[in-house]
Amino acid sequence: MRVGLLTGGGDVPGLNAAIRAVVKRGEGEFGHSIVGFRNGWRGVVDGLSVPLSRQHIRNVLPLGGTLLGTARFHPHSKDGGLDAVLSTLEAERIEALICIGGDGTLHAAQKVAEAGVRIVAIPKTIDNDVWGTDASIGFDTAVTIATEAIDRIHTTAESHDRVMIVEVMGRDAGWIATTSGIAGGAEIVLAPEAPFDIDRIVKFLKHRHRAHASFSIVVVAEGAVPAPGTAMHYETQRGQFGEVVAGAIGERLKAEIESRTGFDTRVTVLGHVQRGGTPTAQDRILGSRFGVAAIDAITSGQSNVMTALRGERVELVPLEEVAGKVKRVPDDLLAVARALA
Amino acid sequence: MRVGLLTGGGDVPGLNAAIRAVVKRGEGEFGHSIVGFRNGWRGVVDGLSVPLSRQHIRNVLPLGGTLLGTARFHPHSKDGGLDAVLSTLEAERIEALICIGGDGTLHAAQKVAEAGVRIVAIPKTIDNDVWGTDASIGFDTAVTIATEAIDRIHTTAESHDRVMIVEVMGRDAGWIATTSGIAGGAEIVLAPEAPFDIDRIVKFLKHRHRAHASFSIVVVAEGAVPAPGTAMHYETQRGQFGEVVAGAIGERLKAEIESRTGFDTRVTVLGHVQRGGTPTAQDRILGSRFGVAAIDAITSGQSNVMTALRGERVELVPLEEVAGKVKRVPDDLLAVARALA
Amino acid sequence: MRVGLLTGGGDVPGLNAAIRAVVKRGEGEFGHSIVGFRNGWRGVVDGLSVPLSRQHIRNVLPLGGTLLGTARFHPHSKDGGLDAVLSTLEAERIEALICIGGDGTLHAAQKVAEAGVRIVAIPKTIDNDVWGTDASIGFDTAVTIATEAIDRIHTTAESHDRVMIVEVMGRDAGWIATTSGIAGGAEIVLAPEAPFDIDRIVKFLKHRHRAHASFSIVVVAEGAVPAPGTAMHYETQRGQFGEVVAGAIGERLKAEIESRTGFDTRVTVLGHVQRGGTPTAQDRILGSRFGVAAIDAITSGQSNVMTALRGERVELVPLEEVAGKVKRVPDDLLAVARALA
Amino acid sequence: MRVGLLTGGGDVPGLNAAIRAVVKRGEGEFGHSIVGFRNGWRGVVDGLSVPLSRQHIRNVLPLGGTLLGTARFHPHSKDGGLDAVLSTLEAERIEALICIGGDGTLHAAQKVAEAGVRIVAIPKTIDNDVWGTDASIGFDTAVTIATEAIDRIHTTAESHDRVMIVEVMGRDAGWIATTSGIAGGAEIVLAPEAPFDIDRIVKFLKHRHRAHASFSIVVVAEGAVPAPGTAMHYETQRGQFGEVVAGAIGERLKAEIESRTGFDTRVTVLGHVQRGGTPTAQDRILGSRFGVAAIDAITSGQSNVMTALRGERVELVPLEEVAGKVKRVPDDLLAVARALA
């Protein structure tokens, strides 16, 4: 069987573990030929394929990024893109395609599946907002990096009445902000799920610094917004791919807090460091399990499904149940962050 | 309300996150008095209590170990131990007790609960074998450390035909071995769940080294054993607390492999480094969530339950369902380790 | 003997190792009383002292920050500040004072020494620009953090023709930029010691991306500036303490590079994460050695000297030789960074 | 010019940085052809050469091990080995040879140099005992790993009266033991430079545990020995390459301490994890600087020299001054370890 494989969207650590698992299991156990496409969907459109076998995946487990390259490119949003995809897959005699990606890639996968291609998807996103799975590849590493940064900032308590803002990723969901905020012991966590009231924040900070503290940490997701009708007006600023402009909310919050409290306020924007470097053990394990599950699904005739972590098990969910939905941070987890502030 | 708190059994990273959450939530939200006992059940027997409030838990999130101390001590296995426990709890006017521990501590908790004390348990063990929960505090850090060690050993491929054995913890279940073996890319993983056949191992190693490789990594859980009726005879060696003697199976395997293959074979016994140091983000989050859930359970009148992770949710399970059972590595996860060898 | 101790200026990792060494050696070996002052020179002016003995320094080696607190405050630049210092030292019967700090603190120390106080200084600064010593406390940790960040950014090579700018600390000297640039494999390193020509940078990037690369990393010290007479005009922006405004040069460079090359260019400003968190082994060793050397110097009657690393040895240099000078990155090290681009 | 390059002896992190620097500088700046030999001197004897250019060294900075392979093999100790070396070098038209290695490799280099070959050596050894240089490649990473392990063990203070022994590398010199002991806060450091008296150790531990402590850490170099005439008799156990048998002194010490104090005593043998994994920033910088210096030395006509770190400078020292000498830990550094116990 000839199985295609691509990684789309932004880089995350753990992609190579999934690629390795697909190749090892597909080639070693079932004798499939694995055909990689470079740079996500763009490589399928452009016909950039590369045969993948065991020598290509040696020693890749600790490496960040993806050995296939990736791109933020969606064939369905480009005129003729879908035709080019079908044409390449036919020319390469691809019988099934494994797509590793986040919501954009999965959305494209759904369109390609509707055109008759057998697809198995593997979710990856540091934002952790893919619906239907407890975890996506890359999230654990991002939380680990953000927590380490908060730890570091915690010890730089040099001055009196300082507020440190740490802006982390999370466009539509505040998973990184909420979990790293809990793990790092942040005083305030701001997530898109719970629009904030700047007056309450300012009141809390003033009270806290008056009482005893000289130092507060605010972790803010890039997609956090003020609640309608509250004292601060702000709309999320987006770039050409719909991504949030790094630093925008962080800098804006700094200005508000500084002018309303008088406290020296600093912003650290973690940015790209959150999505690079050696993957955590969890992301390697998740990538490995998803890769094995994907090739097993294809081999057993499954189609148009996504691998998903459900508790301790890896299961398959229909792709159409997943596409277009956002998994938001549940109230009980937001409540834990608040309870420990 | 006066709530007691203890940490029992071996140290693991993440205990302080749980203690912090109990205190912050218990004192700050509900106004409870939190009374800590030193050194696990031993401190209850000996009446070693210490009031816990917010100043005791400052900056403890990144710290390994437990600020309360711990001990491998079980009151039910000591004559009069249970009476001393009840007497201390009465003297201290403890209305409910939060016990953080592994199977030994939970077993004791069950006995104390049967004597009429309100108990909420929180599972911790780097072995991850507490039944009824997807994860226990300390496991993620241990896997992270073991994976890092395997990564390091992977790059020391100086000689030809070398076999590196890495012995990790796991007395009754091979969670660390299986997951760190997957994450680190081990060639062979040996877990208590799947007794091994030394002949097959030797054959595999010879074949692999003849074919192309000069280097193989074997990850072995301390509790792994040969299958009955196979060529190697070995029984797990235990110390005074029933713990496995570190290095025993590793050294024995080394001798077998070396004599049967002629390959230079080395053992690294990770030992105590697996249970110390700063907790991973996941272990801090798990500890924090369990701590909040425990105090919420007590406040809402629950009793004789254990906090448990189930998928993305923290739930409560009856303590009696948990005690005495071992959560073993499921076949599908063992299969992933084998598939990627 | 009563010995005073303070930590001044910005936080760096490794300060606690030095404090611990002063206390262990001073109290344990010589029987001195160690008196700590809170928040640097401010604590001396305000008379905020705290006795330091062995129980205060337990388990502090892995902790970032300083258990004494610190402040950017210079008594000599405040009317009556010096008098307050002398008055506190007399009231506390301090016979000698150990000052741990960077150029600001050392400058103040020199003024206080001129007023007749016996001073031994210990150099700390992540910028590594204290004259007379091979290394200052905090530098190794900062380089380690910056290198790790560059590693992470290296793997996020998702798009074509992307330039990643990493702005690191280094106001007057580019030690962090140069060494982390070498360690992380940056294509371009910009340090204050070698004012840059934006035209050459742009030419290099265009050539490199045309030839083969899709990705370039530029590491820039916050104090880097364009050479006079070149195509870009920029002056370093400073805050109230003379510190450089974080992100200013990074954002400015981004704008220049993006407009002149058309390449997608992103900035990561490391900021405060560089000065926090657990110190590296080297910074703990350096802090420990300097602490021992300082108390030994005081005990043997030395005065107005600074501890200094010279090759493998710790030596003492006269404070007056050091104050007011900046140790710049030597040409041969800048040349290595250029050679490996 | 055709320049040969080999890495000999045990693996250490940072070798790839040196290889990369030799290639980038040699090929890019001077237009030399760089010829790598596989597996140290063995590859020269066997004629296993590989041309090295820029594409081979991409992304190797963070990788442990050596992309050339290595072996513990000395041509001068093998009949006809030297002739085979000369014959290969002539066949490959090698005009000068860069040898990266520890004492064994440098000794062989000296023999080859005496036979008329132009040699530049680069020192690497985690033991840090190469004479004539402040630091050798690999040492900083080893100290970092050992310190992290001691940190982890520090937090596992579960029981009363426990002694934790950490055995680290260091056959003839105790650099890792001394520096990681200082950085990790060990109570006792045992190095080959200062043969120990078991009676004093036992007395110290008993006193310490009686006074206040429940926990002590002993860091022991594998080459540490009891002083002649003291109560313990022990000789260092060696393997076929003269290397020390891992765990031997650690286990022996455990037996002595346990039987004489009655304290529960555990050993952790760090072993191969000390020499693997991603190199620290310092080791990458050192490797890079040494690589550049080596190729510059060759290009400027230097011969039979070793690159050496002297303070902040990289210098060249005659190979014959270095060979056969061991750089031991100086008394003042041993004294710091003792002072902080």
Q: Which pLDDT tens digits describe chain C residue by residue (341 residues)?
A: 999 999 999 889 999 999 999 999 999 999 999 999 999 999 999 999 999 999 999 999 999 999 999 888 888 777 788 999 999 999 999 999 999 999 999 999 999 999 999 999 999 999 999 999 999 999 999 999 999 999 999 877 545 679 999 999 999 999 999 999 999 999 999 999 999 999 999 999 999 998 877 889 999 999 999 999 999 999 999 987 788 999 999 999 999 999 999 999 999 999 999 999 999 999 999 999 999 999 999 999 999 999 999 999 999 999 999 988 999 999 999 999 999 98
Query: Distance (Å, rounded) from C-alpha A267 to C-alpha A163?
Result: 9
Q: What angle do CA D115, D116, D120 make, to 5 degrees?
A: 105
Strands annotated E in chain C = 2-7, 33-37, 49-52, 96-101, 119-123, 162-168, 188-190, 215-221, 264-269, 305-310, 313-318
Q: Could you tell me the pLDDT band of residue D290, with boundaries at 50, 70 and 90?
A: very high
Residue B182, pLDDT > 80, answer yes
Predicted pLDDT at B157: 58
Query: Distance (Å, rounded) from C-alpha A180 to C-alpha A171?
Result: 16
Task: Pick the residue of C6, C15, C67, C156 with the most A CBs within 10 A to test the interface with A by mutation.
Answer: C156
Both tokens assigned to A28: 């070693």
Quick count: other Cβ atoms within 10 Å of Cβ A268? 23
Q: Can you tell me the mean pLDDT for B239-246?
A: 85
Strands annotated E in C103-214 = 119-123, 162-168, 188-190
Predicted pLDDT at C157: 58
Predicted pLDDT at D155: 79
Q: Are the beta carbons of A282 and B314 separated by less than 8 Å?
A: no
Predicted pLDDT at A77: 76
pTM, 2 dp: 0.96
Question: Sign of the CA dihedral D29, D34, D38, D43?
Answer: negative
ipTM summary value: 0.96
Query: Distance (Å, rounded) from C-alpha D306 to C-alpha D119?
Result: 9
> Among D134, D151, D179, whose Cβ lies nearest the Cβ of C62?
D151
Query: Distance (Å, rounded) from C-alpha D332 to C-alpha C4?
Result: 24
Q: Is D102 annotated as a binding residue?
A: yes
Residue B160, pLDDT > 90, answer no
Minimal CA separation from B27 to chain D, in Å: 27
Q: Can you tell me the mean pLDDT for B254-276?
A: 94
Please identify which residue in the block is written with the tokens 């004798």: A31
Quick count: other Cβ atoms within 10 Å of Cβ B300? 8
Structural contact between residues A18 and A52, judged by C-beta atoms closer than 8 angstroms:
no
Task: Pick the residue of A11, A39, A61, A158 with the most C CBs within 10 A to test the interface with C by mutation.
Answer: A158
φ/ψ (deg, to 5) at A206: -60, -45
> Among A155, A268, A277, whose Cβ lies nearest the Cβ of C152?
A277
Contacts of A141 (CB under 8 A, 6+ apart): A12, A13, A14, A126, A277, A279, A280, A283
CATH number for C2-138+279-322: choose from 3.40.50.450, 3.20.20.120, 3.40.140.10, 1.20.120.1200: 3.40.50.450
Report which of A92, D280, D119, B241 is spatially closest to residue C147, judged by C-alpha positions: D280
Residues of C in contact with A68 (CB under 8 A): none
Q: Are the beta carbons of C285 and D183 separated by less than 8 Å?
A: yes
- Could you give the 3-state DSSP secondary structure of residue D136? coil
Write down the domain spans for chain D. Answer: 2-138+279-322, 140-275
Residue D113, pLDDT > 90, answer yes
CATH class (in words) of the domain with range C139-276: alpha beta
DSSP letter string, B162-202: EEEEEEE--SS--HHHHHHHHHHT-SEEE-TTS-B-HHHHH
Predicted pLDDT at C14: 97
Contacts of D175 (CB under 8 A, 6+ apart): D127, D128, D129, D139, D143, D329
Q: Is A69 annotated as a binding residue?
A: no
Q: Is B172 annotated as a binding residue?
A: no
Q: pLDDT tens, B54-75?
A: 999 999 999 999 999 988 888 8
Query: Distance (Å, rounded) from C-alpha B6 to C-alpha C334?
Result: 56
Q: pLDDT tens, C146-192?
A: 999 999 998 775 456 799 999 999 999 999 999 999 999 999 999 99
Assign domain D140-275 to its CATH architecture. 3-Layer(aba) Sandwich (3.40)
Q: pLDDT tens, A72-93?
A: 888 877 778 899 999 999 999 9
Query: Distance (Å, rounded) from C-alpha D138 to C-alpha C276?
Result: 25
Residues of A in contact with C158 (CB under 8 A): 10-11, 69-72
- Could you give the 3-state DSSP secondary structure of residue B319? helix
CATH number for A141-275: choose from 3.40.50.720, 3.30.420.40, 3.20.20.140, 3.40.50.460: 3.40.50.460
C neighbours by CB contacts (3+ pairs under 8 Å):
A, D
> Would you give the DSSP letter of residue D323?
T
Residues of A in contact with B25 (CB under 8 A): 339-340
Q: Which residues of D touch C (CB under 8 A)?
A: 17, 20-21, 24-25, 28-29, 59, 61-62, 134, 140, 143-144, 146-147, 151, 154, 179-180, 182-185, 278, 280-282, 284-285, 288-289, 292, 310-314, 330, 332-333, 335-336, 339-340
Q: Is B272 annotated as a binding residue?
A: yes
Query: Distance (Å, rounded) from C-alpha A33 to C-alpha D248?
Result: 50
Q: Could you tell me the pLDDT band of residue D79, with boundaries at 50, 70 and 90?
A: confident
Please identify which residue in the block is written with the tokens 């388990």: C59
Q: Is B127 annotated as a binding residue?
A: yes
Q: Are the beta carbons of D277 and B70 separated by less than 8 Å?
A: no
Query: Distance (Å, rounded) from C-alpha B182 to C-alpha B190?
Result: 12
Both tokens assigned to B88: 């201390």
Q: Is B155 annotated as a binding residue?
A: no
> Among C159, C266, C272, whose Cβ lies nearest the Cβ of A153?
C272
Predicted pLDDT at D160: 62
DSSP letter string, D21-42: HHHIIIIIIH-PEEEEETTTHH
A neighbours by CB contacts (3+ pairs under 8 Å):
B, C
> Among A17, A134, A285, whose Cβ lies nearest the Cβ of B312?
A134
Q: Can you tell me the mean pLDDT for D219-241?
A: 93
Query: Distance (Å, rounded) from C-alpha D62 to C-alpha D45?
Result: 30
Q: Which residues of C touch D (CB under 8 A)?
A: 17, 20-21, 24-25, 28-29, 59, 61-62, 134, 140, 143-144, 146-147, 151, 154, 179-180, 182-185, 278, 280-282, 284-285, 288-289, 292, 310-314, 330, 332-333, 335-336, 339-340
φ/ψ (deg, to 5) at A8: -120, 170
Report which of B329, B333, B295 is spatially closest to residue B314, judged by C-alpha positions: B295
Q: Which residues of D touch B (CB under 8 A)?
A: 10-11, 13, 63-65, 69-72, 145, 148-149, 151-160, 164, 246, 266-269, 271-273, 275-277
Q: Is D72 annotated as a binding residue?
A: yes
Q: Could you tell me the pLDDT band of residue B78, with boundaries at 50, 70 and 90?
A: confident
Task: Pick the residue of B156, B159, B241, B243 with the most D CBs within 10 A to test the interface with D by mutation.
Answer: B156
| Buried/exposed D260-275: b ≥16 CB within 10 Å, e otherwise | bbebebbbbbbbbbbb
Predicted pLDDT at A214: 80
Task: Pick the residue of C129, C153, C182 with the most D CBs within 10 A to test the interface with D by mutation.
Answer: C182
**CATH superfamily of the B140-276 domain:** Phosphofructokinase domain (3.40.50.460)
Q: Count of CB contacts below 8 A, C vs D? A: 119
The reply to whether B2-138+279-322 and B140-276 are identical in fold is yes
Predicted pLDDT at C130: 97
Q: Count of CB contacts below 8 A, A vs B? A: 119
